[in-house]
């Protein structure tokens, strides 16, 4: 790709990245949420990869990293949900943090935390899918 | 038993599935030992809850109390039928995962195999416990998606093709199910199964529920591989790695297909005569066409896959007979008999078809072929595979004292008493043909003149262990026919089907 | 009512594509069209004319009608599932292309099911 494309992609991907984070963090008070935010985050990465090419990023190592990120974020979410069982009332997915004032950023108890975790998970998953499709690891049966 | 224990049934396998990529960094052998531990814990848990929890319990996720009369939370429901299915699922999953330790050594990328297997178990356990259609749909998808990936796991030509075909048909089935759910929402404005049950009882015009039921029969019939919708099954089940074939044929088609049909058509929709006739017809067709297709197959795993179609036919026909008796409101004894036979056959089929697929995998592992014409004389080299597959073959063909005899007998008896002589005759004929092709399998695989090289050895210890245990279970399951034992294991599940509206009453407490 | 009929026509277009196209990628696209027609129908069923977004920030007791969020969440979840389906099928299509050298299903016929 030419220098113009690379430079513009660099600038735009930063904006997309910030908007993705905004969308994931404000998921409980505005349209958007973890999934949409995660898709935007991975979109920023994918745009950069398309502009700069495969070799620039050494994608083999990145695949491992993204799949670890995916697993760890969903593990934390599961543990948080499970911790609700021990916070008083034996309910799975118990929302035990204080609710705060409705409409402000710090409200909704644990829901923003889940949104952020889902955002990380979705971004990592979609990146992994994209990497797997473009790298195409040959795993033949011995 | 506390209510929160039932969330463990899908939290533990989900946790295992996502912890494995992390532990893989430290020890590349860890996934193959984590999975059997997880399935063993689940088996113990399911047996514990089955024995200590005969009553129905509903667990509310997140603690969201109903607003007025409207349940707004996600409900998990554990009752006799769920417990029964959980025991079967986790039993087969445990033996398959133990078997897989040795069997999967030939493949690369093993950690993905175990991750997908754990996800599939989580999906199936979730389907059985789900109390609303939303979660039922999502868990169905989790189990189905991981089974698509597992069918293609060998990435050879035919495996990829089978998986693609399975996905196109499965995807269309999902859309039909989603369409059915949309129709239910349109009618009732809710997705909670107990609430839907209430709403539909008050509907005067019963054309609309029947229409939805027919849509759902199409959708879940693809998952259960009833005969007009069976095209994906022989390819997919014969192409998957053998432990997965055992899971797919043994429990997946029953959980995603048969269980959901039972739960929705008995406990959610009002029982209806015309729908039950559709079920009986589909069951009878599957029964006879399945065996006719199986008799001509020379590929061992393909033969077993066709035979699964016919046995799902037995189960569905039994359910249909029970349902028509319930709908007419006459002779409740026959309905009990038919449900007992169906559920008993479901459990038996899970055990012996799982075992037969494991045997086919053992033969493939040792002799490296699936074509029955190229086997022969294996009896000398593989005594344990011979004995266990003999036990399973006799059980599936319905010879006493193996368990398959009793379950088929009960279904046939119920059909005769209810007056469905055609179904009874078809079941007898299908049983005889089943015996024929399993004798063919025994003869060509084990007793014919040796056509394979003499360097064949019996399979490794862990594979032997799961085969022997399942073979013993094939015999032991016969004791379920005794009244005292039937009281504990089969009757709670049968009662769930018999007392149709009880499900909703207990959940909503009205 | 017109909208529902249009959804149904979209669904039929999808089925037509799945049944008649010979190209693996086109089959995937047709399946996606079917998916989206069902999603559209679900959203339409859940919509109340004049309904607002179901947020808790609406003032208590105000005379407003709020759309039921249940079909919307169902559609979102089903859309996530559709992402998984599409990526799996495209990955399989790439693999099949490497094995057979073609996307034509008439030439991919090892199995007779």
> Is residue B417 scored above 50 in pLDDT?
yes
Q: Chain C within 8 Å of B435 (Cβ-Cβ)?
A: no
Q: Is residue A140 part of a domain?
A: no
Question: What would the two tokens of residue A33 be?
Answer: 């949420």
What is the DSSP annotation of B431-493?
A: HHHHHHHHHHHHIIIIIS---S-TT--PPPHHHHHHHHHHHHHHHHGGGGGSHHHHHHHTHHH
Give the pLDDT score at C113: 55
**B431 and B411 Cβ atoms separated by less than 8 Å:** no
Q: Rounded to the nearest 10 degrees, how much is the dihedral formed by the CA atoms of B482, B488, B490, B493?
A: 160
Give the pLDDT score at A141: 37
CB contact under 8 A, A133 and C53: no
Which residues in chain C (48-67) have CB-CB distances under 8 A to chain B? none
Q: Chain C within 8 Å of A29 (Cβ-Cβ)?
A: yes
Residue in A with minimal Cα distance to C91: A133
Count structural domains, chain B.
1
CB contact under 8 A, A75 and B7: no
Percent of chain C with pLDDT over 90: 22
Contacting residues for C103 by C-beta, under 8 A, at least 6 apart: C23, C24, C25, C93, C96, C97
Region A97-118: mean pLDDT is 82
Region C16-42: mean pLDDT is 91
Q: Is residue A36 part of a domain?
A: yes
C-alpha span between C70 and B62 (Å, rounded): 17
- A85/B343: higher pLDDT: B343
Positions of E strands within B360-451 = none
CB contact under 8 A, A29 and C91: no
**Contacts with C92 from chain B: Cβ below 8 Å:** 152, 160, 163-164, 167
Q: Chain A within 8 Å of B205 (Cβ-Cβ)?
A: no
Model confidence at A99, pLDDT cuts 50, 70, 90, reads: confident
Region B454-475: mean pLDDT is 84
What is the DSSP annotation of B70-96?
A: B--SEEEEE-HHHHHHHHHHHHHHHHH
CB contact under 8 A, B145 and C84: yes
CB contact under 8 A, C88 and B179: no
Model confidence at A142, pLDDT cuts 50, 70, 90, reads: very low
CB contact under 8 A, A91 and B62: yes
* 3-class DSSP assignment, residue B57: strand
Residue in C with minimal Cα distance to B168: C31
Model confidence at B97, pLDDT cuts 50, 70, 90, reads: very high
**B4 and B53 Cβ atoms separated by less than 8 Å:** no
Q: Give residue-wise pLDDT tens across range C60-105.
A: 666 677 788 888 888 988 988 898 889 999 888 888 888 888 888 8
Q: Chain A within 8 Å of B156 (Cβ-Cβ)?
A: yes
Count structural domains, chain A.
1
> Is residue A136 scored above 70 in pLDDT?
no
Region B63-80: mean pLDDT is 83
The mean of the pLDDT values for chain B is 87
Q: Give residue-wise pLDDT tens across range B347-400.
A: 999 999 999 999 999 988 888 888 888 877 777 788 888 889 888 998 888 888
Model confidence at B1, pLDDT cuts 50, 70, 90, reads: low
**B463 and B358 Cβ atoms separated by less than 8 Å:** yes
Region B89-104: mean pLDDT is 91
Q: For chain C, what is the HEC assignment?
A: CHHHHHHHHHHHHHHHHHHHCCEHHHHHHHHHHHHHHHHHHHHHHHCCCCCECCCCCCCCCCCCCECCHHHHHHHHHHHHHHHHHHHHHHHHHHHHHHHHCCCECCCCCCCCC
Give the pLDDT score at B453: 65
Question: What would the two tokens of residue A91 be?
Answer: 């309910």
CB contact under 8 A, A133 and C87: yes
**B102 and B462 Cβ atoms separated by less than 8 Å:** yes
Q: Give residue-wise pLDDT tens across range B245-299.
A: 999 998 999 999 899 999 999 888 888 888 999 999 999 999 999 999 888 888 8
Q: Chain C within 8 Å of A21 (Cβ-Cβ)?
A: no
Region B135-148: mean pLDDT is 92
Model confidence at B87, pLDDT cuts 50, 70, 90, reads: very high
Q: In the complex, which subunits touch A with 3 or more CB pairs below 8 angstroms?
A: B, C
Q: Is residue C75 part of a domain?
A: yes
**Contacts with B164 from chain C: Cβ below 8 Å:** 24, 89, 92-93, 96
CB contact under 8 A, A129 and C87: yes
Q: Which of B375, B260, B258, B279 is nearest to B322 (CA)?
A: B279
Q: Is residue A142 part of a domain?
A: no
Give the pLDDT score at A22: 92
CB contact under 8 A, A75 and B19: yes
What is the DSSP annotation of chain A?
A: --HHHHHHHHHHHHHHHHHHHHHHHTTTTSS--HHHHHHHHHHHHHHHHHHH-SGGGTHHHHHHHHHHHHHHHHHHHHHHHHHGGGTTT--TT---S---STTSSS-STTHHHHHHHHHHHHHHHHHHHHHHHHH-------
Residue in C with minimal Cα distance to B162: C111
Query: CA B360 from chain center: how many Å?
Result: 19
Q: Chain A within 8 Å of B155 (Cβ-Cβ)?
A: yes
Count structural domains, chain C.
1
C-alpha span between B464 and B452 (Å, rounded): 21
Give the pLDDT score at A68: 87
Name which of B49-58, B231-240, B447-456 the model is least confident about.
B447-456
Give the pLDDT score at B355: 92
Q: Is residue C109 part of a domain?
A: no
Q: Give residue-wise pLDDT tens across range B288-332.
A: 999 998 888 888 889 999 999 999 999 999 999 999 988 888 778
- B401/C62: higher pLDDT: B401
* Residue range of the domain that includes A60: 3-135
Q: Which of B372, B374, B396 is nearest to B310 (CA)?
A: B396
Region B207-230: mean pLDDT is 89
CB contact under 8 A, B178 and C27: no
Question: What would the two tokens of residue B80 be?
Answer: 């006799």
Residue with tokens 């790298």: A135
Q: Chain B within 8 Å of A63 (Cβ-Cβ)?
A: no
CB contact under 8 A, C90 and A132: no
Provide the number of CB pairs (under 8 Å) joining chain A to chain B.
Answer: 60
> Is residue B135 scored above 60 in pLDDT?
yes
Residue with tokens 């092709």: B437
Region B180-191: mean pLDDT is 89
Query: CA B19 from chain center: how many Å?
Result: 27
> Is residue B2 scored above 80 in pLDDT?
no
The mean of the pLDDT values for chain A is 82
**Contacts with B139 from chain C: Cβ below 8 Å:** none
**B99 and B466 Cβ atoms separated by less than 8 Å:** yes
Rounded to two decimals, the pTM is 0.93
C-alpha span between C108 and B379 (Å, rounded): 37
Provide the number of CB pairs (under 8 Å) joining chain A to chain C.
Answer: 19
Q: Which of B167, B158, B326 is nearest to B238 (CA)?
A: B158
Give the pLDDT score at B495: 86
What 8-state DSSP symbol labels residue B271? P
Q: Give residue-wise pLDDT tens across range A37-79.
A: 999 999 998 898 888 876 666 666 666 788 888 889 999 998 8
C-alpha span between A77 and C73 (Å, rounded): 19
C-alpha span between C110 and C98 (Å, rounded): 15
**Contacts with B138 from chain C: Cβ below 8 Å:** 77, 81
> Is residue B104 scored above 90 in pLDDT?
no
C-alpha span between B106 and C96 (Å, rounded): 22
Model confidence at A138, pLDDT cuts 50, 70, 90, reads: very low
Q: Is residue A141 part of a domain?
A: no
* Residue range of the domain that includes C39: 2-49+64-100
Question: What would the two tokens of residue A45 be?
Answer: 């990465």
* Residue range of the domain that includes B55: 3-508
CATH number at residue C45: 1.10.287.3510
The predicted complex's ipTM stands at: 0.93
């Amino acid at each position: 790709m030419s220098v113009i494309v690379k430079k513009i992609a660099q600038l735009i991907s930063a904006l997309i990245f910030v908007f993705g984070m905004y969308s994931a963090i404000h998921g409980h008070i505005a349209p958007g949420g973890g999934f949409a935010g995660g898709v935007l985050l991975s979109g920023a990465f994918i745009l950069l990869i398309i502009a700069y090419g495969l070799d620039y990023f050494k994608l083999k190592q990145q695949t491992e990293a993204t799949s670890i990120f995916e697993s760890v974020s969903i593990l934390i979410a599961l543990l948080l949900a499970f911790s609700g069982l021990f916070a008083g009332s034996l309910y799975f997915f118990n929302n035990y943090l204080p609710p705060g004032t409705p409409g402000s950023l710090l409200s909704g108890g644990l829901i923003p935390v889940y949104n952020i975790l889902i955002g990380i998970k979705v971004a990592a998953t979609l990146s992994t899918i994209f990497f797997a499709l473009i790298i195409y690891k040959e795993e033949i049966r011995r | 038993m506390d209510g929160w224990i039932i969330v463990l049934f899908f939290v533990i396998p989900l946790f295992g599935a996502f912890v494995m990529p992390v532990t893989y960094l430290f020890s590349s052998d860890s996934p193959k030992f984590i999975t059997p531990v997880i399935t063993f814990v689940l088996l113990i848990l399911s047996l514990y809850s089955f024995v200590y929890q005969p009553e129905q319990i509903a667990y509310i996720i997140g603690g969201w109390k109903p607003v007025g009369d409207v349940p707004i939370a996600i409900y998990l429901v554990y009752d006799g039928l769920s417990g029964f299915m959980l025991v079967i699922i986790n039993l087969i999953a445990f033996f398959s995962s133990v078997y897989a330790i040795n069997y999967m050594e030939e493949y690369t990328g093993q950690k993905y195999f175990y991750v997908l297997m754990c996800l599939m178990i989580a999906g199936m356990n979730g389907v059985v416990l789900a109390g609303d259609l939303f979660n039922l749909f999502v868990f169905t998808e989790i189990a189905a998606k991981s089974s698509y990936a597992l069918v293609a796991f060998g990435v050879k030509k035919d495996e990829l093709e089978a998986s693609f075909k399975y996905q196109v048909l499965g995807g269309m089935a999902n859309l039909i199910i989603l369409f059915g759910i949309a129709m239910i929402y349109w009618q009732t404005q809710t997705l909670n199964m107990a609430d839907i049950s209430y709403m539909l009882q008050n509907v005067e015009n019963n054309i609309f529920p029947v229409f939805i039921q027919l849509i759902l029969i199409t959708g879940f019939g693809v998952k259960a591989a009833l005969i007009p919708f069976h095209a994906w099954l022989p390819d997919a089940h014969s192409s998957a790695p053998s432990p997965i074939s055992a899971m797919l044929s043994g429990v997946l088609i029953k959980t995603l297909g048969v269980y959901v049909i039972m739960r929705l058509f008995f406990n959610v929709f009002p029982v209806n005569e015309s729908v039950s006739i559709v079920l009986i017809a589909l069951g009878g067709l599957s029964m006879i066409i399945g065996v006719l297709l199986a008799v001509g197959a020379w590929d061992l795993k393909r033969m077993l896959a066709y035979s699964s179609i016919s046995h799902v036919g037995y189960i569905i026909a039994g359910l249909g007979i029970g349902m028509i008796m319930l709908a007419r409101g006459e002779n409740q004894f026959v309905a009990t008999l038919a449900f007992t036979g169906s559920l008993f056959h479901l459990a038996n089929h899970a055990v012996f078809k799982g075992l037969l697929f494991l045997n086919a995998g053992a033969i493939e592992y040792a002799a490296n072929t699936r074509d029955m014409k190229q086997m022969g004389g294996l009896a000398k080299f593989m005594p344990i595979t011979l004995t266990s597959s003999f036990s399973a073959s006799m059980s599936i063909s319905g010879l006493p004292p193996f368990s398959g005899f009793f379950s088929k007998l009960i279904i046939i008896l119920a059909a005769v008493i209810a007056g469905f002589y055609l179904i009874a005759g078809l079941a007898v004929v299908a049983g005889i043909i089943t015996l024929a092709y399993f004798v063919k399998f025994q003869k060509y695989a084990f007793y014919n003149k040796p056509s394979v090289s003499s360097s064949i050895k019996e399979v490794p210890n862990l594979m032997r262990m799961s085969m022997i245990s399942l073979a013993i279970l094939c015999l032991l399951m016969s004791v379920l026919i005794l009244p005292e034992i039937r009281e504990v294991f089969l009757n709670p599940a049968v009662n769930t089907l018999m007392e149709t509206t009880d499900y909703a009453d207990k959940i909503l407490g009205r | 009512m017109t909208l529902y009929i249009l959804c149904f026509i979209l669904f039929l277009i999808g089925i037509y594509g799945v049944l008649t196209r010979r190209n693996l990628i086109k089959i995937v696209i047709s399946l996606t069209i079917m998916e989206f027609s069902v999603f559209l129908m679900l959203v339409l069923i859940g919509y109340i004319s004049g309904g607002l977004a179901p947020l808790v920030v609406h003032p208590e007791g105000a005379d407003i009608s709020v759309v039921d969020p249940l079909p919307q969440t169902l559609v979102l979840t089903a859309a996530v599932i559709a992402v998984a389906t599409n990526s799996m099928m495209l990955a399989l299509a790439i693999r099949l292309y490497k094995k057979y050298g073609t996307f034509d299903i008439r030439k991919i016929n090892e199995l007779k099911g």
